[in-house]
Structure 1
Amino acid sequence: MKLFNRLRFRTKINLGLTLIVGFTSLIITIFVIRMASDALIEQSRKRGEVLSGNLALRAEDPLLSMDLLRLESMVNELKKVDEEIVYAFIMDDHNRIIANTFSDGFPTNLKYANQVQGKNIKVVTVDTGKHRIFDFAAPIFISDTRLGTVRLGLSRSGIHSVVQNLIFAICALTGAVLLLAVVVSTHFARTMTMQLGALRRHAREIVRTHLGAGQGQENNDNYDFLRGFSRGDEIQQLTETFDAMAMTLECHIEDLQITETDLTRQKELLRTIINVTPDFVALLSPQLTYLAVNRTFAEHVGRTEEQIIGMTDAELYPPEIAKIKIEEAKLVLNTGRTINKENREDTTPEAPARWFHTIRVPVYGENNRIIGVLSTARDITELKSYQAQLIQSQKMESVGKLAGGVAHEINTPLGIILGYAQLLQDDFKPEDQIHKDLEIIEKQARVCRKIVADLLGFSRQTESEKITMCFNNSIMEVVQLVSHTFKLEKIEISTSLDDRYPIIHGDPEKLKQVWLNLLSNAMEAVIEAGAEKGGIHISTSLDTSAMTITAIFADTGYGVAQKDLGAIFDPFFSTKPVGKGTGLGLSVSFGIIKDHGGTIEVLSPLPIPVRREFGLPENSGPGTMFTVVLPLDEISSEDENSIKS
């Protein structure tokens, strides 16, 4: 075994292939010769049966007429035609030889070597000492009468000759294949050993130069290969080289693992810091694909951090927004300028616009070359909203002061105009044109007085006179007041009021003014929608845990456009035609609810589930729903228990 291990790799391959080819050829030779010999023997047996059967058929007539000369001629002629026939003879029914091919006398032992019974041909093997012969015995029958027997002997020497030729051919072919295998294996082994040698030299060079194994370690037994020390064949030498490489790599891997652990710790720390910030942080490559993002950015675009890596702005944003972002990133990459701006993004028509404070800075690599763009964006939508609210509050305060001053100044001349118009009507008959013109003046003066009254109510800064009151009763009083008028307009008012009779601290008259404003607006919206039948639903619900009472006014009117929802409570804003509204009703209502510490909100169009819940018709206008939430009055525990029950 040791001697085999020390053989060269080329010698091992040649020896192995030679043994494989030789063993395979031997197995094939044995099986082929056996199969060929069996096939030849079977073919010879069938041939003998055919010859002996034909001779028996031909011998029927001569044997019946006892034509011995003809029988003798038949057997001799058959032996001359076929060289493999050793002998042939015919016996009568008493086993007497009446014709044969033996020139030196008939061997008596052969007569009883193969005795046939019945009508089938019988075959036996006769050994003469020098040859082995197939002996065929074919009975001669006419009807059921046996006349005699034909005996035929075929030599097996031809079969042996064919088998020997086959053995010689297989051996010659095996030798040629074996020689070819040795040549091929020699070439293959030579090529393989050359590649193994080159690989070993390359591995040694890697260990010596890149891994530093050959410097300062020449006396170490682990690096004997560097001094040309060899053990075994080329495979063994290559194995030793890679073993030394593995040892060196193990040391380097340990150092890399320590470094990786430190880098991972720093990476996780940096990731934690970036993910904690509410800003949208992203790093783009020079190809404008995302290299890294924080969790806030991923949540903003609705994807995971892993999904975003490798994507572009065109895949994350609508085309208009993506185009702006790509142009800004290209500008930073090409010029190195920093972009610092506030921008507004409208992601979808349904979603409200959002404001962002965006900063884009270039990222520099080696040789002061820009290798990316670092982008941070902060959502300042709420800040912008606060700014808008502050501006709106200042504007409302200014409008209120102006409205109060203007109302006081206009109120006196309006009263004079209204009074004179009423007095002058008494001087003319009702059918006179001047009387009709004075009625118009009186009507328009009353409209102006209503506007002045609303302005005074809007600008009044004094607190309301609030008392303890029943919330539901204030609503029902207004409903009873307008129900007749609404029925004339084919508008049905349905109510679903909380039966626990919530008590609040408020100004009943001002709250009635709010309910009346909401119902009046709802009636006008339903009439404007033009449906055959309209509906208004009022519901209240008590929330004792939050100590609030909610009132909902839903109608099937023409609704409010989405663009107008944010300005519907502004002073002088109205969706009605000129001359049909002052634009102060909802503003005054908003001020009254705010003075009571509550909120009022609007929703349009009315959702289908809400229509079905309130029993409102679905084949009408878009509809509008106002939701008013007011705080409850302070109640005792006994009153609270009674309300809950």
Structure 2
Amino acid sequence: MILRLSALSFRTKINCGIVLIVGLIAIPLAYLTWRAAAESLQAETRKRGLVLSENLAMRVSDPMLSMDLLRLKNMVDELDKVDDISYAFILDRQGSVLVHTFTGGFPVELLDVNAPQGDKPTIRLLDTGREFIDDFAAPVVIVGTPFGTARIGLSRTKAEAAADRLALMIVFYSAAAMVAALAPSTLFARRVTERINRLKRHAEEVVKGNLDPRAGPPALRPCSAILDCDKKLCPAYGDKARRCWLTASPDQRGDGPESCRDCPVYREQKGDEIQDLAETFDVMAVSLKTHLDELRRAERVLSRQERLLRTILDATPDFVCLVDENSKYLAVNRAYATFVGQPSGTIVGSTDREIYPEDEGPDMHEENRRVLDAGRPSDREVSLRRPGGPLWLHIVRVPVTDPAGRVIGLLRTARDVTQLKQFQEQLIQSQKMESIGKLAGGVAHEINTPLGVILGYSQLLQEDVPAGSQIRADLQTIEKQAKVCRKIVADLLGFSRQAESAKIEMCFNNSLMEAISLVRHALSLDKIAIVTNLDERMPIIYGDPEKLKQVWINLLSNARDAMAGRGGTVLVRSRLFAEDQKVTAWFADTGPGISPENQSRIFDPFFTTKPVGQGTGLGLSVSFGIINDHGGAIRVETPAPDGFFDAHLTGGEDTPGTVFIVDLPLDHEETLGGPRPADPTEA
């Protein structure tokens, strides 16, 4: 029932409310009026009955003395003609009925139901079964002596019927008033609901986002009295000052809607509560529009700043992340997501325990917790184990606080300093090697003199002893070992770069072929073939032929040692890159290759994988120094690139192999024509 009533329109509710109010007023009023009228009629009836009975008692005194029954009969018959008098009769002193108005015989039971009390009349209410009758008994007194009784019966039912008729009239007029009230109530409800519906439509426009009153629903009310608005309908419902300002001509406008409030025409306009509500709603809409415009502008600025900040953060190679007070990720940049190997959406909401391995996550989490609890920045370097080797990170943690100074999170940036660490290690190693080189150079110079003496005397003594003797064999051993020491001293001098270089113009290919011719026979004894593929343009370089020959021999010797006991092929290539002003040589073998952990150390002095007594560990380091002294570069690739070896060179076997690549600058700009040759190491 309540839901049905709530579903009614507001206009119907107003009409029903007015009818209900009129009905609630009319019905109690009719009842109270009826009760008052009934009681008033009863009182008047009693007064009238007393007057009639006393009057009858006074009038019948003379006829009773003379026993003029006809006259008595005429008196009671006159009363019987009155509509509400049911009966009338006269009793003598002995209680006998002298005259009465009953037509069907006198009811004897009336004789004893009522009697006067002394000289005062009495009233009794009688119920005949058909109606209620007020019975009045007035004493007939003659000269102070009771002489009889005059009895009159007035019908109370007829009096109440008159009161009922009055009540019906009141109800009828009340109903007529209710019907008559429907017309003005309907008009009133229509006016009210129309204004509310206009406000509703305006609210709907606001909900749709149309907060500009000039773009709102058309014509809501005339405003011809507001300044000079050409008697047009206002484009908005509500604030009169704003409507006045919107519709006024430019020269009549003030600085804003508030300026119209000083207008006398505006001050004359009065509004009711709905008008005030509409004006307040319009002011709210304008304020809301202003605030929304400011919010949109702020949103655009924030979005632009967010995109700029996101671009900056994504462009930086540092690993940047923001975590909350529970160490959960709030935001990360692209570099950090790439570093942990997960998308940003997966990282946000997680913790370090979920992102990092089990042996790293708890430490990262605890460090975050210490910074959050202490509220002080942290700056440290940590090492993380990764498949390619240790990864060094320089991590900075800065607490983030709210305006009250409470720590609500922290900003963490991490920078990969692995390469810097490697550079530092290389620098330290270089400094060590420089010290070793200086020491080795000094030692070599000091040893050269006694070695020359030992070698010279051993050779001289061999001439003084017979051939085939044990002493000569011992002297030959001394000579051989002295030459080995001289070779080591020469390598030490080369490593320390204290030996002078004699650079001249030389043919690069000729230098390669001279070294190949020197070692070809020795390699063939180990079943190792040398295959050459040299550039036919015979590039000219500026260098020391002997030192470069030493480099080529070292590389070929290393290739032989790598394939010792198994045989194989050594491929030597050369190419001229005139545009890059360099010449390149490749020394490739079909050996087992170099393990990854040794690749970064092969050019270190005294590093060797050969057994004791078979290598000094200075060959590649000396070669590195010679090439570097010539302004070139040497590097290694292992395994060899796919397709580097032809199938007939390896016998169809899939061998890892190792390739040493040497780049040397040209002495002058080559003007040889032709396209740029392809790099054999490029896949």
Paired residue for 1:402, among 410, 432, 439? 439
1:291 aligns with 2:330: yes
Contact preservation (8 Å) 2:444, 2:493: yes
Distance change >3 Å, CA 526–CA 498, structure 1 → 2: same
Q: What pairs up with 1:277-426 in 2 under 5 angstroms?
A: 277-301=316-340, 305-306=344-345, 308-314=347-353, 316-349=355-388, 353-365=390-402, 367-422=404-459
AA at the equivalent of 1:415: G
Q: Deviations over 1:514-564 (max 9, x none)?
A: 10110011101110xx43x31211111222221111111111224323222
Instruction: Report the equivalent of 2:11.
Output: 6
The corresponding residue for 1:597 is: 631
The Cα of 1:640 is off from its aligned counterpart by 2.6
Q: Is the 8 A contact 1:540 1:549 kept in 2?
A: yes
For normalisation by structure 2, the TM-score amounts to: 0.54
- Which of 590, 609, 621 lines up with 1:556 in the alignment? 590
Tell me the CA shift for residue 597 of structure 1: 0.7
Please give the alpha-carbon distance, in whole angstroms, between the structure 2 residues aligned to 1:368 and 1:614.
Answer: 76
Q: Which residue of 1 aligns with 2:510?
A: 473
Shift of 1:623: 2.7
The answer to whether 1:565 aligns with 2:570 is no
Per the TM alignment, residue 326 of structure 1 is displaced from its structure 2 partner at its CA by 2.7
Question: Where do 5+ consecutive residues of structure 1 fail to align?
Answer: 12-199, 208-218, 231-236
The one-letter code sitting in structure 2 at the alignment partner of 1:641 is: G
Q: Describe the superposition over 1:380-413 as per-residue Cα deviations: whole angstroms up to 9, x where unpaired.
A: 3443344334333332322222111101212233
Matched AA of 2:517:
Q
**Partner residue in 1 for 2:581:** 547
Compute the displacement of 1:596 (Å): 1.0
1:447–1:314 CA distance, 2 compared to 1 (3 A): farther
Q: CA separation of 1:229/1:643 partners in 2, compared to 1, >3 Å: closer, same or farther?
A: closer
The amino acid that maps onto 1:552 is W
Q: For residue 6 of structure 1, what is the amino acid of its counterpart?
A: R
| Equivalent residues of 1:478, 1:515 under 8 A apart | yes
Alpha-carbon deviations, 1:158-179, whole Å to 9, x = none?
Answer: xxxxxxxxxxxxxxxxxxxxxx
Displacement of 1:567: 2.0
Residue identity opposite 1:471 in structure 2: F
CA separation of 1:314 and 1:471: change in aligned 2, threshold 3 A: farther
Q: 1:620 to 1:251 in 2, by over 3 A?
A: closer
Q: Write out per-residue CA displacement over residues 280-299 of structure 1, whole angstroms, 9 at most, x where no aligned residue.
A: 32111233332123344345
Structure 1 position 641 matched with structure 2 position 673: yes
Aligned pairs for 1:520-539 (under 5 A) are 520-527=557-564, 530-531=565-566, 533-539=567-573
The whole-number CA distance in structure 2 between the counterparts of 1:545 and 1:322 is 52
Helix, strand or coil for the counterpart of 1:546?
coil
Label 1:429 to 1:464 Cα distance change in 2 as closer, same or farther (>3 A): closer
The Cα of 1:260 is off from its aligned counterpart by 2.0
SS in 2 for 1:7: helix
Root-mean-square deviation (CA, aligned residues, Å) is 4.1
Aligned pair 1:267/2:299, yes or no? no
Say which is worse superposed, 488-497 or 275-284, in terms of deviation: 275-284
Relative to structure 2, which stretch is displaced further, 305-314 or 481-490? 305-314
Structure 2 unaligned residues grouped into runs of 5+: 1-7, 17-199, 208-237, 243-270, 678-683
Q: Is the 8 A contact 1:537 1:616 kept in 2?
A: no
1:451 to 478, 488, 507: 488
| Aligned partners of 1:421 and 1:442 also within 8 Å | yes
Q: What residue is the counterpart of 2:556 in the other structure?
A: 519
Structure-2 residue corresponding to 1:606: 640
Task: Report if the CA contact (8 A) 1:526-1:621 is conserved.
Answer: no
**Contact 2:579/2:676 (8 A) holds in 1:** no
C-alpha distance in 2 between matches for 1:379 and 1:4: 72
Checking the alignment, whether the CA contact within 8 Å between 1:536 and 1:616 is kept in structure 2 is no
State how far apart, in whole Å, the 1-side matches of 2:644 and 2:281 are: 77
Give the partner amino acid of 1:383. L
Counterpart amino acid of residue 400 in structure 2: V
Amino acid at match of 2:603: F
Counterpart-to-counterpart distance in 2, 1:615 and 1:454: 33
The answer for the alignment partner of 1:175 in structure 2 is: none
**In structure 1, distance between residues paired with 2:12 and 2:590:** 101
Q: Structure 1 392/330 Cα, relative in aligned 2: closer, same or farther at 3 Å?
A: same
CA shift at 1:354, angstroms? 4.1
Question: Following TM superposition, by how much is the alpha carbon of 1:581 offset from its aligned partner in structure 2, in angstroms?
Answer: 0.8
Structure 1 residues 323 and 555, CA gap change in structure 2 (3 angstroms) = farther
Aligned to 1:170: none
Deviations 1:20-51 (A, max 9, x none): xxxxxxxxxxxxxxxxxxxxxxxxxxxxxxxx
Q: What is the identity, as a one-letter code, of the residue corresponding to 2:369? A: K
1:301-341 CA-to-partner distances (Å, cap 9, x unmatched) read 45665554334445554544444423322332333343211
Deviation of 1:452 after TM superposition, in Å, equals: 0.9
Closer, same or farther in 2 for the Cα pair 1:309/1:614, shift >3 Å? farther
Cα distance in 2, alignment partners of residues 433 and 622 from structure 1 = 49
Q: Which of 464, 468, 489 is equivalent to 2:526? A: 489
- Contact persistence 1:603–1:626 (CA under 8 A): yes
3-state DSSP of counterpart to 1:579: coil
Quote the Cα distance in structure 2 between the aligned partners of 1:642 and 1:255.
68
Whether the aligned pair in 1 keeps the contact of 2:392 and 2:417 (CA below 8 Å) is: yes
Write the distance in 1 (CA, Å) between the matches of 2:371 and 2:544.
61
Please report how far the alpha carbon of residue 627 of structure 1 lies from its aligned counterpart in structure 2 after TM superposition.
0.7
Q: Distance in 2 between matches of 1:612 and 1:328?
A: 56
Whole-angstrom CA distance in 1 between matches of 2:676 and 2:274: 98
Q: Hey, what does 1:36 align to over in structure 2? A: none
Residues matched between the structures, number:
423
Partner of 1:92: none
Shift of 1:479: 1.4
The secondary structure found in structure 1 opposite 2:593 is coil
Within 2, Cα distance between the matches of 1:644 and 1:251?
Answer: 69
TM-score normalized with structure 1 length = 0.57
Of structures 1 and 2, the one scoring higher in RCO (CA 8 A, sep 6+) is 1
Give the secondary-structure state (helix, strand or coil) at the position aligned to 2:672: helix
Which residue of 2 is the match for residue 627 of structure 1? 661
- Pick closer, same or farther for the CA change 1:450–1:614 going to 2, 3 Å: farther
